[in-house]
Every structure is written in C-alpha cells, then in structure tokens.
Chains A and B, each alone.
Chain A
Amino acid sequence: MSDTRYTKEHEWIRMDGDIATIGITEYAQSQLGDIVFVEIPDNGKSVSKGREAAVVESVKAASEVYAPVSGTVTEGNAVLADAPDTVNSDPDGDGWFFKMTLSDPSELDELMDQAAYDSYLKEIDG
C-alpha cells in the first residue's frame, strides 16, 4: 500500500510496510518560502498524533510540524541538515522529514486521502 494521507496542517504520511514516512506538502513549502533549517526528532523518540514532532524554519519564521499519527521515530532525514532547501525543491520526495513506526495504525483512517486533501486546499484558498 503506497497511498499518501494528509493532515489539515499540511503534513503527508506514506506507508511502506510497517514504516511510515512523514513530510510536508507542496502547499506547505510554498507558504513557508525559503527553508533554511529543519529540526528533526531523534531516533527512538515517541511522538503523539497532533503533537509537535519537528520544526521547520524559513528565512523569516519557525513553524511546527505535527506528527500525523502516534508512534516511534526510526530515522530522520540526514540530508536536511546540510540541504534544508530540499524541502522546497522536493517536498513530496527527497525532502521528507522522518520515518516512524505506528502504535495505532487505525489513526491513519482519520486522515485525508488525496481527493479529500485537494478539495480541502481549494476550500482554504477560497
């Protein structure tokens, strides 16, 4: 299963076996502008759905990135330490933030699928 789910806070989550990869959406990166620093959680850190898991800093401001589901961090994207602007150039791919295992996979069902996220974007952009 490789379909992507989305939060209202513009994080995406994609499952590969038992491991989820988390990033922020194209919409989120375009709103943030030039990204200069990303703080990713340490391996082994427990994160809770809807709570702060990472921080992304643009030239101007810091913004929180929330965990879309609960679980344990298994890997942070080391590329972002030297090249945080990868989030601007490839938010859905190489600009991922961290990988995690899920403590309650049913939480995925509460997130938006692609079609629901697309209509959500249309709604908030008026």
Chain B
Amino acid sequence: MPDTVSTDALHATPLDALHRTLGAKMVPFAGYSMPVQYPLGVLKEHLHTRAAAGLFDVSHMGQADLVGEDIAAAVEELVPGDIQSLKAGRIRYTQLLNEEGGIIDDLMIAKPVDDDPNRLHLVVNAACKDKDYAVFEAHLKGRGSLERKSQHALLALQGPKAAKVLALLDPQCATMPFMSLRPASIAGTDVVVSRCGYTGEDGFEISVPAVSATKLAETLLEHADVEPIGLGARDSLRLEAGLCLYGHDIDVTTSPVEADLVWSIGKRRRLEGGFPGDARLLIELHEGPSRVRVGLKPIGRAPAREGTVIETVEGDGVGIITSGGFGPTVEAPIAMGYVEKTYAQPGTRLHLIVRGKVLEADVTSMPFVPQRYYRGSK
C-alpha cells in the first residue's frame, strides 16, 4: 500500500486550497504538494479529458522570460530548435542540451506577441527549474538575464470541449492556431493564453497572476464540461499521446534523436549545428542512432512498468521501458522505451520481463491515441 509521505517543506501552488476543497488527494511532486487525483479517480478523469475538458493545475512548472539583445541567437547556443525564425506569438518545443547532446530538460519557448526581439517566454519542468535557470543565467552572463514569473500560476484546459468552454469567456480563443499565444482578458483578469498542452488533445495553457488563479479556475469549473484533473491522469494522457516525460523517457543520457524528437530540430539547425552536442546529433541524424524510443503494446492485460527489461524473442536484452502503464482510452496496457535500432520497426515482436515472466509485446508507432490538435478551421 502507498506510504504516507511528510508534506513538510513542500511548496504549495496558488490553487492549493481549492484542490483540498475539491477533495483532491495531494502528493509530493517535484517539491510541490500537488493533486494526484480528485474523487472522480484517475480512470474517469482520463476519459473525461478525452471526451470533454479537464482542468489541470500546472503551476509547479517554471515560467520565466529571457531578456537581452538578440536573445533568440543567444538561446540557440543552448537548444537545437529554430528559435530565430519564431514569429510573434508563436511557441516552439525544444530541449536544453549538454555538451554531450544529452537532454538537460525539454521546454517551451515563445516569442512575445509584440514581437520584441529582446524577449522570449519560457515554460520548463518543475523538477528542472532551478537547474535550467542556472544554465541560462550562466550562459547569458553579460548578454541578458532571466526574469522568473514566480507570481504566476499556470492552468491547463485540455480536451475536445476546451475551445468551446474558453470561447465563452473570450471568443478569440476558438480560432487561435495550435502553438500560438496571445494576451487575453478572462473573468476580469489579464492572462496569457497559449494553445498547447501535453495530453494529445486540443487545449490551452493559461498563465494567470497568482492572486487571480483560484477565481479563474472556479470560473472554468462552473462549466458542466469541465472537471478538475490530477497528475495521475495527466501522466496516462501524455503516455497515450506518445509524449516524453522528463526524468523518465528523456534525461541527460538521451539525445533528441534517440528520443525520436527529430521533428523539433530546426532544418537550418541540422545544417549549421551550433548547439551543445551538435557533433553527436549530426552523426545520429545522418547514420541513425544506435537506440531509439519506440512504442510497445503488451499482448494481454498485464501492464509493463518503467524499468522493465526488453528482450528479443531469443532472450537477448535489447532495451528498457521508460514509461508504461494502462491506457484508459485504448483500454489496454501501453509502454514506451528504448530499443536497439534493429528492433525498432513497428510490428517487431519482443519480450518484456515482468516479475520474472515473459510478457509478449509488439513494437508500435506512436501516439497510441490520435492527437487532436487544432490546425485551423476547415
């Protein structure tokens, strides 16, 4: 049974009291006390997000601005994404890399709506925040600075009804393109709305001043289509969407090429390099990495969890699972992990060693559930 962990010295998000009022089960996560589930339970919360709209508190994530002259060029010295070509009000997913091409963190970088060439917005993972900020500050020394937005909360509204719900409060949200952001006034509060998320669904992240966060959350929760959703369902949703979780599917030992994140490396950057670990990445891009992240579907009902050894049908070890569990929407166990390149083709039969027994599984393409991002009105 789960251990009870002391909640001393944990940070609380601005929505902490609301979570407790809503009956959330709170757990320590990345130094914060966070809702892992509400009375609905992980399974129903997951399915509700896929069917309607789920409201997530992601205030533990790090929000900051980088400021300095020609800041995009300076940032490109740390990440493989094409940041200089970002247009005003657009967001890009990229990774902070170390000298070996390993991933220090994955993050969202956005260009302000006013097209200020000297400012970029960042959203980074909670557990990596201090480490990331130190990397940026050390790198920018004398050229720019990092401004923490510690007085801001971050809410995510995700699911097929998210746009309809948010449009009731600000009609322009309905037609925002995927991976764009804009300032808005919602429920009397000035916020920044981004059309993005990490569930595979259409949805939004709303950066809101901490003092107004509870009021905004309550306003969204008033809508019949919106339920509060905890970190438990957030994890199963992102797994079904084939999205990496930092510290599990990606870390300082994995490169973006191995992690199958090549799509996030800008074309110009692939030709020019100029980011940490570029030599390794350019070789991996050219020759293919020796191991690669793949999806796996175990046969039967038993889930295979993180750390499960992957073997060939002959019994040779060829990889390890980095995220695994039960996919409520696919109604079956699903997993992702790294395997040697030879075994990465969809349809390849492999063995997962679960509690000493062989569990058969097939390599499969991801996502496990089709992504439903908003690509514009048809």
In the complex, what residue of chain A is closest to B25 when comparing beta carbons?
A: A33
Nearest-neighbour CB distance to chain B for A83, whole angstroms, equals 10
Give residues of chain A (76-115) contacting chain B, Cβ–Cβ below 8 Å. 81, 84
Q: What are some 30 contacts across the A-B interface (CB < 8 A)?
A: A10-B1, A31-B1, A31-B2, A32-B1, A33-B37, A33-B41, A33-B42, A33-B43, A33-B232, A34-B42, A34-B43, A36-B301, A36-B303, A37-B333, A39-B302, A39-B355, A57-B302, A57-B303, A57-B326, A58-B42, A59-B42, A59-B325, A59-B326, A59-B328, A60-B235, A60-B236, A62-B303, A62-B305, A81-B301, A84-B301
User: What 1/0 mask marks residues of chain A from 47 to 91 whose CB sits below 8 Å from any chain B CB?
Assistant: 000000001011111110000000000000000010010000000
Q: Does B293 contact A (CB under 8 A)?
A: no
Report the contact-size class of chain A (Cβ under 8 Å from the partner): 20 to 34
Within the assembled complex, what's the spacing in Å between the Cα atoms of A63 and B1? Answer: 7
- Residue of A9, A28, A55, A62 with most chain B CB atoms under a 10 A cut-off: A62
Nearest-neighbour CB distance to chain A for B47, whole angstroms, equals 10
SS of A interface (majority): mixed
Q: Which residues of B contact A (CB under 8 A)?
A: 1-2, 4, 37, 41-44, 46, 232, 235-236, 301-303, 305, 325-326, 328, 333, 355
- Residue of A34, A39, A62 with most chain B CB atoms under a 10 A cut-off: A34
Are A60 and B42 touching (Cβ within 8 A)? yes
Are A61 and B1 touching (Cβ within 8 A)? no
Nearest-neighbour CB distance to chain A for B99, whole angstroms, equals 36
Nearest-neighbour CB distance to chain B for A81, whole angstroms, equals 7
The interface residues of chain B lying within 8 Å CB-to-CB of A58 are: 42
Within the assembled complex, what's the spacing in Å between the Cα atoms of A9 and B46? Answer: 29
Q: Which of B37, B235, B303 contacts A37 (CB 8 A)?
A: B303
- Residue of A10, A31, A60 with most chain B CB atoms under a 10 A cut-off: A60
